[in-house]
């Protein structure tokens, strides 16, 4: 079933089209990658979905779980889209480095929207159990009382994914989650995403093709603001146009 429908999205920045008539359908409980060269429009597309940028034309429609009537995200505010159940993690981790892992998770709970509220409003036993379950999924349960600033880069990324997951979103958008990671961390990140896709849909921007091959269900290739190709990873890798434009090798070299 479709969870997000991107319809004819175009974005014009003072005469420059960052996106032109982009169409894509994201399936529920899938890991959907948007890849392409720098300047292809990948981040702009995420900005459109979460309302950071307004499209010149087109719409983004969200099908909430159990509803056959879509919610039009286009025109909504960023905080409204978050409340609808769509979260986003940027490339650079934004955790509170002077707080423990558990305290970071408490801050991300629904209803805990400020430092003072989190201090005076103690989480329930159920919420504490939820925190531990999520931390176990992202491999950080043993770091519960560790200050977040002491975590390795990959662990900070996993903590922020956990903070998003704790809010029980229907969609999580990740901007280059494997950036700056070594191969073991990248592989573990992929395994984490494959596990949590049972709970929510995951949209990813990424350049690491090994990471894409590890976890992608569907891949959309963008080039110069347009959809070049969409399909499973094998179809994408075998496509001669994609090889020439994105992977840098034409038919002759193949």
202-239: b (≥16 Cβ within 10 Å) or e: bbbbbebbebbebbbbbbbbbbebbbbbbeebeebeeb
User: What sign results for the dihedral spanned by CA atoms 80, 85, 86, 87?
Assistant: positive
pLDDT tens digits, 39-88: 889 999 999 999 999 999 999 999 998 778 899 999 999 999 999 999 99
**pLDDT class of 193 with cuts at 50, 70, 90:** very high
pTM of the model: 0.90
Compute the average pLDDT of residues 218-239: 92
The percentage of the chain sitting over the pLDDT mark of 70, rounded to a whole number, equals: 91
Is the pLDDT assigned to residue 114 strictly greater than 80? no
How many CA within 13 A on the CB side of residue 96?
14
Q: Cα separation of 78 and 8, whole Å? A: 21
Tell me, what's the pLDDT at 39? 84
Of 103-112, 129-138, 236-245, which range is least confident? 103-112
pLDDT tens digits, 163-176: 999 999 999 999 99
Q: Cα separation of 24 and 9, whole Å? A: 9
Q: Mean pLDDT score of the chain, rounded to an integer?
A: 89
The percentage of the chain sitting over the pLDDT mark of 90, rounded to a whole number, equals: 71
Is the pLDDT assigned to residue 111 strictly greater than 80? no
Torsion of CA 161, 162, 165, 166, to 10 degrees: -150
Tell me, what's the pLDDT at 251? 44
Tell me, what's the pLDDT at 115? 57
Tell me, what's the pLDDT at 113? 55
Q: Cα separation of 225 and 113, whole Å? A: 36
Which residue in 15, 3, 5 sits closest to 56, CA to CA? Answer: 15
**Could you give the strand order of the β-sheet that contains 2-13, starting from the edge strand earlier in sequence?**
16-27, 2-13, 57-62, 71-72
């Amino acid at each position: 079933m479709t969870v997000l429908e991107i319809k004819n999205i175009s974005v014009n920045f003072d005469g420059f089209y960052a996106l032109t008539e982009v169409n894509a359908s994201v399936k529920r409980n899938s890991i959907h990658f948007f890849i392409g060269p720098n300047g292809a429009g990948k981040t702009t597309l995420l900005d459109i979905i979460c309302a950071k940028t307004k499209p010149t034309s087109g719409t983004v429609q969200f099908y909430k779980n159990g509803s056959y009537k879509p919610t039009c995200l286009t025109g909504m505010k960023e905080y409204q889209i978050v409340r609808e159940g769509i979260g986003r993690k940027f490339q650079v981790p934004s955790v509170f480095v002077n707080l423990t892992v558990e305290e970071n998770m408490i801050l991300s709970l629904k209803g805990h929207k400020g430092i003072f509220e989190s201090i005076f409003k103690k989480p329930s036993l159920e919420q504490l159990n939820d925190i531990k379950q999520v931390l176990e999924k992202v491999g950080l349960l043993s770091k519960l009382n560790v200050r977040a600033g002491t975590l390795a880069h990959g662990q900070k990324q996993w903590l922020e994914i956990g903070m998003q997951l704790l809010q029980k979103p229907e969609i999580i958008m990740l901007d280059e989650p494997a950036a700056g990671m070594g191969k073991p961390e990248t592989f573990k990140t992929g395994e984490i995403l494959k596990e949590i896709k049972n709970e929510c849909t995951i949209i990813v921007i990424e350049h690491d093709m090994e990471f894409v091959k590890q976890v992608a269900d569907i891949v959309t290739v963008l080039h110069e603001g347009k959809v070049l190709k969409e399909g499973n990873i094998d179809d994408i890798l075998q496509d001669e146009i994609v090889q020439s434009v994105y992977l840098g090798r034409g038919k002759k070299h193949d």
